[in-house]
Structures are given as structure tokens and as C-alpha cells.
Amino acid sequence: MASDPIQWLVQCDEPWTRYRTMSDLLDRPEDDPEVRAARAQMLAHPQVQEIIAQTGTWPGHALKRHNDASHPIYAFSTLADFGLRVDDSGMGAGMKALLDHQAPEGAFQTQVNVAKSFGGTGEDTWSWMACDAPTILYSVLAMGLRDDPRARRAVDHLVGLVDENGWRCAVAPELNKFRGPGRKADPCPIANVYALKALAQVPEMLDSPAARTGAEMLLWHWEHQKERKIYMFGIGTDFRKLKYPFVWYDILQVVDTLSRFPFVQEDSRFQEMVETIIAQADEQGLYTAASMYRAWKGWSFADKKSPSPWLTFLVLRILKRIQPTN
């Protein structure tokens, strides 16, 4: 195995990892022959083709819990993480179906099923919540539709939802009886992560008041982690485990999201989170999943026994983002 982690990534058998490594870590242009070859191999790879096919089933099954890693909402966001675009072969049908459902207020919708005991109807309903709409928006923006009027409406709506302490549990008007299991005035940690990840795709939002408010919410939660949970979100052993895809509230998703905002990078609370991740490297600087989603079995980032090229890439990209540029 190569002693240089980046060289190990370039030589790995995951074309999505090779592609993003050359683009994001080595700053090689999209028209570089090796970059283009890796991207073509990624698009043709059977595992990627399987996820693309899953996007074509949108809306799939109704969301009953937002950490359902098998839901196609996370097929879209994972492909966006890999660097797929709306005009890539096979993405058209799924993206059209995604864009066809936008609430009058601006949020993109999915099918949800809220039990009667939580104030819902117990039936599948096209609607939105602050813990799903931003993930759709991230996928739409990251896949190249930043200038689409529908995407701009969704961004404006998302920004308009932020409160003085971050994004709270917000839902569509037709779900007005539903609320998450925390205090009404509390921010929702996972909604803040999802919202920030979406806003990071819009350059003019990188130093916006909304982004600063959401980032402070997450940093405050880390700072006060021993005091109490917010909603159902604690910061304990499970939070610290490296895990992918980015589905729920865990350290890798939080740090990857925060690292996209330059104003966060010198914050001591953020640096503590980064150090918590770095401490999980093996002797060769590689990273292995400490937890996994069974729906993603067969991917290296769902293998708790061997170093994962993709997880290693994600950590190295975080470190590259926060390195001084001088």
C-alpha cells in the first residue's frame, strides 16, 4: 500500500474517488484526460448505475423516518457528492420528477407519511420538512441547476426559515400539527446541517447571516455537548463514528459541511471536531468506517474492516479546505 494517502486514492479501484481526488485534492481541470477518464468510468460503474436507477424511481417509498438510508433522496445526494450532473446519462427522468414537485412557498417536496400519533394523517402525502427539503435542494444545486428559477425560489425559502438560533423544526403548512420531539424554540441540529450543505452551493451565501447563524448553532451544540440533547440529537460515541452516506447527524457530515464556510475554519470548536476525526486515522493516514448503513453494503465506506478510499478522500478534502492558502 502506498505511503502517500493521496497516491493511494489515485490508484484505488473506485472511479468516483479517483475523480474527486484529482479534481478536489490535486486541482486538476475537468478537461484533463485522466480526470475525464475517471469520470467516464464512474458513470459506467455498476454500483453507480444502480444508484442512478434508484433516482428514476422517485419518489420511491414515502419517508417515515429521515435516517432511512435506503430512500432515493439519499441516492440523489450521494450522486451529487460524487459529482454527477443533471445532464449525465440516466439522470434526466429522476431530476425531472424531483423538480416537478415544488410547494407554493418554494421548498421542494417529497412523499412523507406522518403517523396520526404525531399529528399526521398516516397517509402518503406530497409535502416538505426542514429535514428533507434542503437535501433535495443540495442535490439540485450541486448537479448544476444553481441558476434555475425553481432552485433560486427554494434557496430564498430556505433562507427565510432561519430563526435567531438557527433552523428549527419547520414543516409545510399542511403538516402544521406535526413537530419534532424537542422544545418548540430549539433549533434542529440535522436541519441546520442539511440547510448549510445546500447554502454552501451558492457562493453569495458562504458568508451570509443565515449561514453564520446555522454554523454557530452547530458549534454551540459541540461546545455544550455534555449539557443536554437537542431534540433527539446527542453528541456521544455514535456521533463520533465515521459514517457515510451523509444521511444523519454525525461528526463527518457536520465537519464536512462546516468546512465549506471559511469563517468557521479557525474556530476552536470546529478545530476540536477536526482533531476528533484525525485521531481515527490508521498508521498510514487512512480511514475506516466505524459504522455503516446496511442499505449501502458492498461499498467501501460501509466496510468496517478495511480502510475506505472514499472516507479517506472526504477527510483529506476537509483538511485541504482548512489549510492556509499563503
Residue 22: inside a domain: no
Residue 244 placed within a domain: yes
What residues have CB less than 8 Å from 260, skipping those under 6 apart?
196, 197, 200, 206, 321
Q: What is the pLDDT of residue 326?
A: 42
Does 304 map to a domain?
Answer: yes
pTM over 0.85: yes
Length of the chain: 326
Query: Within a domain: residue 7?
Result: yes
pLDDT of residue 5: 97
Give the span between the Cα atoms of 228 and 208, in whole angstroms: 28
Burial class (CB in 10 A: 0-12, 13-18, 19+), 289: buried
Q: Which three cell numbers stand for residue 243?
A: 459514517
Residues 161-180: tens digit of each pLDDT: 999 999 998 999 888 666 66
Dist. CA 307–CA 89, nearest whole Å: 31
Q: What is the pLDDT of residues 210-269, one digit of tens each?
A: 999 999 999 999 999 988 777 679 899 999 999 999 999 999 999 999 999 999 999 999
| Model confidence band, residue 119 (pLDDT cutoffs 50, 70, 90) | low
Q: Is the pLDDT of residue 2 over 50?
A: no
Q: What is the pLDDT of residues 122-136, one digit of tens each?
A: 889 999 999 999 999
**pLDDT tens digits, residue range 287-326?**
999 999 999 999 999 999 999 999 999 999 999 999 875 4
* Domain count of the fold of the chain: 1
Cα 193 to Cα 248: distance, rounded to the nearest angstrom: 9
> Does any domain span residue 285?
yes
Q: Distance between CA 6 and CA 70 in Å, rounded?
A: 30
* Chain segment 63-118, per-residue pLDDT in tens: 888 889 999 999 999 999 999 999 999 999 999 999 999 999 999 999 998 877 66
pLDDT at residue number 106: 98
Question: Is position 2 within any domain?
Answer: yes
What is the identity of the amino acid at 89? Answer: S
The verdict on residue 311 lying in a domain is yes
Q: Has residue 275 been placed in a domain?
A: yes
- DSSP string of 101-159, one letter each residue: -B-TTS-B-EEE---GGGTS-SS-EEE-BTTTHHHHHHHHHHTT-TT-HHHHHHHHHHH
Confidence of residue 3 (pLDDT cuts 50, 70, 90): low
Q: By residue range, what is the domain housing residue 310?
A: 1-13+236-326
pLDDT in tens, 23-64: 999 999 999 999 999 999 999 999 999 999 999 999 999 988
